[in-house]
Chain A
Amino acid sequence: MFVGAVFFPLLGATLAGFFGRWLGDRASQWVTVLCMALAAVCGTSAFIQVALGHAPAVIEIVTFIDVAGFEVNWALRYDTLSVVMVAMVTFISTLIHLYSVGYMSHDQTTPRFFAYLSLFTFMMLMLVTADNLVQLFFGWEGVGLASYLLIGYWYEKESANRAAMKAFIVNRVGDVFFMLGLALTYWTFGTIEFATMFASIDQHLGDTILGMRSLEVIGVLLFLGACGKSAQLGLHTWLPDAMEGPTPVSALIHAATMVTAGVFLVARMSPIFEQAPVALTIVTIVGASTALFAATIGCVQNDIKRIIAYSTCSQLGYMFFAAGVGAYQGAIFHLFTHAFFKALLFLGAGSVIHAMSDEQDIRKMGGIWKKIPATYAVMWVGSLALAGVPFFAGYYSKDFVLEAAYASHSVAGMYAFICGCIAAFLTAFYSWRLIILTFHGAPRADHHTMEHVHESPWTMLVPLVLLAIGAMAAGAIFVEFFVGHEWEAFWNGAIVNGAANHIMHDVHEVPGWVPLAPTVIGIAGIALAYALYMLAPQIPGQLAARFHGVYLFLLNKWYFDELYDRIFVRPARRLAYTLWKVGDARIIDGMPNGAASLVLEGTRGAVRIQSGRVASYAFSMIIGLVAFITIFLLGATR
């Protein structure tokens, strides 16, 4: 069961990837779906046994690395934290596999797509079930690879290739910090296995490196690594571009699972972060800033998937500042509910795009809600959950996260609370902007497209409906376990809250207005969007013209891409060009080429000596003799 949950996807990936040609398109699609379904069954039962039955387990597979005292086992660590992720990943991934059967039906190389998708799932599972940092890093890199392959899945598209490379390279920047953190962890603890590492934390509280406390440095480095993967402020630029991939990919990787790996990492390393208050403050501030920053951009974007991508970015910010104030359980809870409604929103967006003949610009949509009622309904559910409207999944988790920020009674926490509230308002605003522009009003698409608007096939609708149910119910059902009264039994020590960290209790003692605030703010945001886009559609345009500078600033994503292009990309390209032209072509290639032409020169010389005339031959003998005698005599008299 435990092994099956992880390895069924690998089996599916292998079958579809290596034998897809023989199996044929349909067979390889369904074989991966079947493998994922089996994994989901295993994952769910593991969830019931480990999380609800309080029976964590570690399954050793093989010794991964064993060199000179450095031993890494390949083991599956099943505690509540990983099992929550396993169940969530396998469940969502199964639905997305199923959805892809319909969505990718017109594609030429579906076995490849499904192989990548399953490979990604396997790597993600490897990451969350890791027993040590190296294995986690293996999964971490594996999901990065799968993400690269899937973003660039349509490799004939120049923009897809660029986006894939951008994602990979930006992730590498984060990975460098991760690796440094990994190395420093080993340096400090002498092990990278979680169990032994966490057990010996008390002995290493005072360790320092370069004058700083080791635990703080480890925390900051690992968080910077997490920033890359989870698209936090500064390293977020790849995520919107990653929308070049097929929509199911965006749903699975860039919304529900991979991008949350950073949050998972922070939660997994909670025993260390608990001893690193500075690192936690940084996490809080970066997370809160990202939440607000991404939400502002989301308000003015016009690409349906990019809006949701910025929303993802923003929600990840929520998760991070929840973790930053010590409420790791809240972060994971938000991660969990977010996975449902964000996957739902993406798949719904995919369904819209599918219906609109691959149109992604919401300015060219509108007036289609009657034609695709099911998609319209699930988009409503997803948006309600995202906006934190009561009794949808997002309500519970977002409420908790904001309450935790307020309850932390720190400056950073208060900053996070304010940012979070504003972002919640913006979130509700842009969600309804999206819904209204997409589904309501006069049709803005051309006649031809409008004629083809159609509801998606059942393989796409079934996952949508299931996810919609999740988006409605997941919060209400699990709130008690994750952050409610049963949290201690549920988590069973998988996440450590330090002795001084009472946030899980303090949350329930915040003033009465705090829990109400997100709801009120959310509804206000919805109302504003309704007023601007439904009642007075001319106002947004006027606002954009009036505050043109601000509008452009937001539309251009705070000019991050341009800034990075100027600071990093262009100098790097210039350096690379120089190295290529001078270093490679002239010096490195020049040496063997030069040596070869030297040889040819030498050959010509050597052949020219051979004149064929006996006299010159005899002359050379005599010259040689004289030279030898000279050497000899010099040697003899020495």
Chain B
Amino acid sequence: MTWTLILPELVLALGGLGLLVAGVVPKRVMHFPIAMGTLAALLAAAALTIAQPDGVAFSGLYVADAFSRFGKLLVLAGAALGIILAIDFNERSGLARFEFPLLLLFATVGMMVMVSANDLMTLYVGLELMSLALYVVAAFDRDNERSAEAGLKYFVLGALASGLLLYGASLVYGFAGSTNFDQIARALSTPESASTGLVVGVVFVVAGLCFKISAVPFHMWTPDVYEGAPTPVTAFFAGAPKIAAVVLLVRVLAGPFGELAAQWQQVIVLVSALSMILGAFAAIGQTNVKRLMAYSSIANIGYALMGLAVATDAGLRGLLIYMAIYLAMTLGSFAVLISMRRDGRAVERIEDLAGLGRTDPMMALWMAIFMFSMAGVPPMAGFFSKLYVFLPAVEAGFWELAIIGVLTSVVGAYYYLRIVKVMYFDASAGAFDARPMGLSLVLNVTGMFTLLFILFPAPLIAAAQSAIASILE
């Protein structure tokens, strides 16, 4: 029976349905218990994922391997931390509805399906499951115009992206004769079989996925949605879905379309370079921290894609390491942003961080660590994440990409370090409200990871190595 392979997704989905019932039936506010229940479900799914054997299920629709496990664990970690970040914020902002954690849970199910997709159909189902849930949470603060606008924009553009993806999938099916990744790979094993239609189809698929990871030029929604959505939602957007989509992109390009590498590499190189440049330059002009983080995430995706553009063993490994470290740094930074609340109101301008070094030295220190890490200053984890993608790029001869990466890092350092400067050297704008425990937990976990990665890099590198080995065999 191959259905046991999908046990993690199954447990998560069924748990979600159970929690839904549990949320609806009682007459009290069930936000906190449901959130806890969601976390428990995520934990169970993570445990099952670790125990998951390799294999293919449902006639090749679904695959479980080291790569999918790596991706799923990152996704689950990102989702769990994202939910923890949201609990307190929602309660203080009047968003404490039990649907919120559940929506995130269903989005997570979708991501897990994406990560394990071995067929264009599975891919689309997972992607849409995730996306639909995310459209809703983007507009979760429905009485807030900006939140509603963010949800709508995301939905409209997301629909366009989905359309592109589906159209591409149909072209691929038409020219390759199958939607199954293994079949497509077999069909493409001879170079002359790469017909124009197929190539166009691949581009459409890539474009659809690039939208999800907000890579330039499909990034336009990102700043608006990041700014408009409630901050925990933004934090969630910046974390787990990015991981899932990047992992999926890697699987699609390195797997079935691996034979076309010479062609799609050019596109990825371009996307990577554009993302790095736009992310670095546009962020400088921002005054809103969330917009800044949006451009920061665009730039980060650019760096990560450098690993995919190189398309070597080491490059892809670097990409996975990059995403793991990116997840920690981003969620840690957002923990700080979410705690930016003064007199009960959330504030989100960069100046609002002024004087944090005196009013909350601990949090300022963590934030400084995240910012230094994002800027790529050793010995923080961010330095190594960049190292692991720059090095393969140089080794594989992608000089121009590495040089752009280094230069944009310099530009990026400006706005990361500006935050440090504002925190430590500007006159205080008053202390923030007391920080809830959940945020401190996320801060400490991600901060420790960022700070101590230099001491224990081996487990992550080994895991990424075996994950890459499982798709490149």
CB distance from B124 to the nearest CB of A (A): 18
CB contacts (< 8 Å) of A605 on chain B: these are: 281
| Contact A628/B206 with A614-B153, A614-B156 known, Cβ cut-off 8 Å | yes
CB contacts (< 8 Å) of B160 on chain A: these are: 618, 621
- The range of chain B's interface size is 35 or more
CB contacts (< 8 Å) of A635 on chain B: these are: 262-263, 266
Interface-central residue, A600, A623, A628, A632, by most chain B CB under 10 Å: A628
Q: Which A residues, 618 to 634, have Cβ-Cβ distances below 8 Å to chain B?
A: 618, 620-621, 623-625, 627-629, 631-633
Contact status B262-A629, CB under 8 Å = no
| Contact A636/B153 with A600-B284, A606-B282 known, Cβ cut-off 8 Å | no
CB contacts (< 8 Å) of B128 on chain A: these are: none
Contact status B281-A621, CB under 8 Å = no
CB contacts (< 8 Å) of B153 on chain A: these are: 614, 617
Q: Is B65 an interface residue (CB 8 A)?
A: no
CB contacts (< 8 Å) of A606 on chain B: these are: 278, 281-282, 285
The 0/1 profile, CB within 8 Å of B marked 1, for residues 605-617 of chain A is 1110110101011
Q: Name A620's contact: one of B203, B204, B220, B284 (CB within 8 Å).
A: B220
Contact status A632-B202, CB under 8 Å = yes
CB distance from B84 to the nearest CB of A (A): 31
| Contact A610/B263 with A618-B160, A620-B217 known, Cβ cut-off 8 Å | no
- Chain A residue at smallest Cβ distance from B161: A621
CB distance from B423 to the nearest CB of A (A): 22
- The range of chain A's interface size is 20 to 34
Q: Name A629's contact: one of B161, B200, B220 (CB within 8 Å).
A: B200
CB distance from B275 to the nearest CB of A (A): 11
Interface-central residue, B220, B281, B286, by most chain A CB under 10 Å: B220
Specify the main secondary structure of chain A where it touches its partner. helix
CB contacts (< 8 Å) of B194 on chain A: these are: 636
Interface-central residue, B202, B285, B411, by most chain A CB under 10 Å: B285
Give bound CA distance, A604 to B286, whole Å.
10
CB distance from B286 to the nearest CB of A (A): 8
Q: Is A603 an interface residue (CB 8 A)?
A: yes
Contact status B196-A624, CB under 8 Å = no
Q: Is A24 an interface residue (CB 8 A)?
A: no
- Chain A residue at smallest Cβ distance from B224: A612
Q: Which A residues, 22 to 41, have Cβ-Cβ distances below 8 Å to chain B?
A: none
Q: Is A493 an interface residue (CB 8 A)?
A: no
Q: Name A628's contact: one of B267, B281, B411 (CB within 8 Å).
A: B267
Contact status B220-A633, CB under 8 Å = no
Contact status B220-A621, CB under 8 Å = yes
Residues in chain B within 8 A of chain A (CB atoms):
153, 156-157, 160-161, 164, 194, 196, 199-200, 202-204, 206-207, 211, 216-218, 220-221, 223-224, 262-264, 266-267, 270, 278, 281-282, 284-286, 411, 414
- Please name the 4 residue pairs, one residue from A and one from B, whose CB atoms are nearest each other, closest first: A624-B217, A606-B282, A617-B220, A635-B263
- Write 5 A-B pairs (CB below 8 A) sorted by A numbering: A599-B281, A614-B157, A617-B153, A621-B211, A627-B217
Using A599-B281, A621-B157, A625-B207 as known contacts, list a sample of 18 further A-B pairs with CB atoms less than 8 Å apart, ordered by residue number in A.
Answer: A599-B411, A600-B284, A603-B285, A607-B286, A610-B223, A617-B153, A617-B221, A618-B160, A621-B161, A621-B211, A621-B218, A621-B220, A624-B216, A631-B266, A632-B203, A632-B264, A635-B266, A636-B196
Residues in chain A within 8 A of chain B (CB atoms):
599-600, 602-607, 609-610, 612, 614, 616-618, 620-621, 623-625, 627-629, 631-633, 635-636
